[in-house]
Amino acid sequence: MANLVIIGMQWGDEGKGKIVDLICPAFDAVARFQGGHNAGHTVKFGDQHFSLHLIPSGILHPEMRCVLGSGMVIAPDAFLSERDGLRAGGIDDRDRLFLSSRATVLLPCHAALDQARERARGDAAIGTTSRGIGPAYESRAGRYGLRLVDLLAPDLEERLDRLVGMVGGHLAAAGGDERLEVAPLLEQCRRWADELAPAICDTEALLAGWLAAGKGLLFEGAQGTLLDRDHGTYPFVTSSNCTTGGAAVGAGVPPTRIDGAVGILKAYSTRVGAGPFVTELHDEAGEFLRSRGNEFGTTTGRPRRCGWLDLVAGRFSQRLNGIDAIALTKLDVLDDLDEIKVCTAYRIDGRETQEFPASLHDLERAEPVYRSLPGWRQGTVGALERRQLPAAAQAYIEFIEGEIGATVDLISTGPRREETIVSTEGPLAALLGDRLEGVLAERSAG
């Protein structure tokens, strides 16, 4: 049974939640490996609508085991309210939701620091989700962070003292005026420890056991490749590794046990927050994509910046992630257009390049070189086979495959499970083997 990782190939919000929900019947467990409640994954089926932030989208399947891996930053209050919200909606997580004892605890003071830093940056703000993600990862890398297992440790108070001292110093330097106090935080941490204790465990050992037993694991990425801390549009990035390489480290499984990667690619581009975006549209076309695609953040409600598909970024993403199969999402959003543009190269100071630049200065000056493709002006929603799509839509998909060098094995034409074309041949079908049947059944069940 193959173990797969799913990641976003752009700036997040590609539709990872929908695709994870659809293909998870082919797996026995789903694990998140990075990020925190900056993520917002939307899943819709029947008359239900869920927004998941910390908990893997697999939780909506009653039998699926779900892991929050060591590479995550977990805010206990956000986790508990998300879990309670799911319980209120009839989703029972008991005995199948596991938190890595090695995951980092994200505390309210991390969020306060994130917000103070953003205020201090003024016009140069990153546009973070203000959840405290960067400062939490910073505490971890600086070796004064708190892990979930430390919530249960006898020296919790000393650890908190050190953490609050460090974060408080950064907060004052950023002009924040909150006073951080250890005593109420200690109380709060003890309450969280009691509530979380039953779910905290050695998830790395759990995953190793499942692997040894031949179970199939799905690793659910959050954010997207161009927000990757090391490879994205630095410094306008998040603070974790959202590329496929992050899955092994962040879940604590050997990279040699991950058999393939599915890249989620939206049929156009969006970005939330600041930072370079070469194909961004400030005109009616951008407005069309935003309203037609309902491009408003799941986590913060912010309008997403919109633009044409950027294949320079797409090829870069393919090179970094080694994508075996692409899931192309939101194709339906393009249904009514006469003309669709795709960026195939950048022009920087009059010179054309196919490479995604490392330099922020170059990215900010890059102009898109577009190829114009005909639109199809016909509905695609609910098509179940690729050959049922209008010829121009098929040509659009083939163009993307040729440029990126990977096949499109899933095509999403709406937010719901049944609005997906699932290829029964090709790399994804080969990786899933017999288990593809489960995915097809899920799609028909809606």
DSSP-derived pairing of the beta strands 269-271 and 305-307: antiparallel
We find the least distance from the C-beta atom of residue 39 to ligand GDP, in angstroms, to be 6
Radius of gyration of the chain (CA): 22
Spell 399-413 as b/e; 16+ CB within 10 A means b: bbeebbebbbbbbbb
Nearer Cβ to ligand GDP, position 185 or 421?
421
Please indicate whether residue 53 is annotated as part of the active site: no
Single out the residue of 344, 341, 339 nearest to residue 316, CA to CA: 344
Position closest to ligand IMO via CB: 273
* Selected binder of ligand IMO within 9, 26, 66, 222 (CB under 6 A): 222
We find the least distance from the C-beta atom of residue 430 to Mg ion, in angstroms, to be 29
DSSP string, 402-413: HHHTSEEEEEE-
* Selected binder of ligand GDP within 115, 203, 269, 412 (CB under 6 A): 412
Single out the residue of 445, 4, 13 nearest to residue 269, CA to CA: 13
Nearer Cβ to ligand GDP, position 227 or 248?
227
36 touches ligand GDP by CB under 6 A: no
How far does CA 61 lie from the centroid of its chain? 19
125 touches ligand IMO by CB under 6 A: no
238 touches ligand GDP by CB under 6 A: no
44 touches ligand GDP by CB under 6 A: yes
**Cβ atoms < 10 Å from Cβ of 352:** 11
* Selected binder of ligand GDP within 71, 176, 414, 427 (CB under 6 A): 414
User: Which bin fits 352, alpha (ψ -120 to 50), beta or left (φ > 0)?
Assistant: beta
We find the least distance from the C-beta atom of residue 240 to ligand IMO, in angstroms, to be 8
CB-CB contact of 272 with 40 (8 Å): no
From 21, 37, 41, 110, the catalytic residue: 41
Q: Residue 438's binding partner, choosing from Mg ion, ligand IMO, ligand GDP, none, with beta-carbon cut-off 5 to 8 A by kind?
A: none
We find the least distance from the C-beta atom of residue 296 to ligand IMO, in angstroms, to be 11
DSSP string, 172-186: HHTT--PPP-HHHHH
- Rounded to an integer, what distance in angstroms lies between the CA atom of residue 139 and that of residue 193? 19
Residues 264-303 binding ligand IMO (CB under 6 A) are 272-273, 298
Nearer Cβ to ligand GDP, position 140 or 266?
266
Nearer Cβ to ligand GDP, position 109 or 281?
281
Strand residue runs (E) in 33-137: 41-45, 48-52, 65-68, 73-74, 97-100, 104-105
How far does CA 43 lie from the centroid of its chain? 13
Please indicate whether residue 13 is annotated as part of the active site: yes
Nearer Cβ to ligand GDP, position 82 or 150?
82
Binding mask 311-350 for ligand GDP (x = CB under 6 A): ------------------xx-xx-----------------
13 touches ligand GDP by CB under 6 A: yes
We find the least distance from the C-beta atom of residue 226 to Mg ion, in angstroms, to be 14
Choose the binding region for ligand GDP from 12-20, 129-137, 179-187, 427-435 (rule: CB under 6 A): 12-20
Instruction: Return the half-sphere exposure (C-beta side, CA atoms, 13 A cut-off) of residue 29.
Output: 25
* Selected binder of ligand IMO within 25, 134, 252, 414 (CB under 6 A): 134
3-state secondary structure of 353: strand
Q: Residue 134's binding partner, choosing from Mg ion, ligand IMO, ligand GDP, none, with beta-carbon cut-off 5 to 8 A by kind?
A: ligand IMO
Would you give the DSSP letter of residue 35? B
How many residues make up the chain in this entry? 446
Amino acid at 181: E
Choose the binding region for ligand IMO from 58-66, 122-130, 164-172, 337-345 (rule: CB under 6 A): 122-130
- Rounded to an integer, what distance in angstroms lies between the CA atom of residue 313 and that of residue 344? 9
Structure tokens at 252: 């604590």
Instruction: Count the site residues for ligand IMO by CB under 6 A.
Output: 24
Q: What is the dihedral of CA 228, 229, 235, 238, to 10 degrees?
A: 70
* Selected binder of ligand GDP within 4, 6, 7, 8 (CB under 6 A): 8
Structure tokens at 418: 């049944």
CB-CB contact of 276 with 126 (8 Å): no
41 touches ligand GDP by CB under 6 A: yes
Structure tokens at 253: 């499984």
* Selected binder of ligand GDP within 2, 4, 5, 12 (CB under 6 A): 12
The residues of the shown chain that bind ligand GDP, judged by CB under 6 A, are 8, 12-18, 40-42, 44, 298, 329-330, 332-333, 412-415
The residues of the shown chain that bind Mg ion, judged by CB under 5 A, are 13, 40, 298
The residues of the shown chain that bind ligand IMO, judged by CB under 6 A, are 8, 11-13, 38-41, 126-129, 131, 133-134, 222-224, 227, 238-239, 272-273, 298
**Residues belonging to the active site:** 13, 41
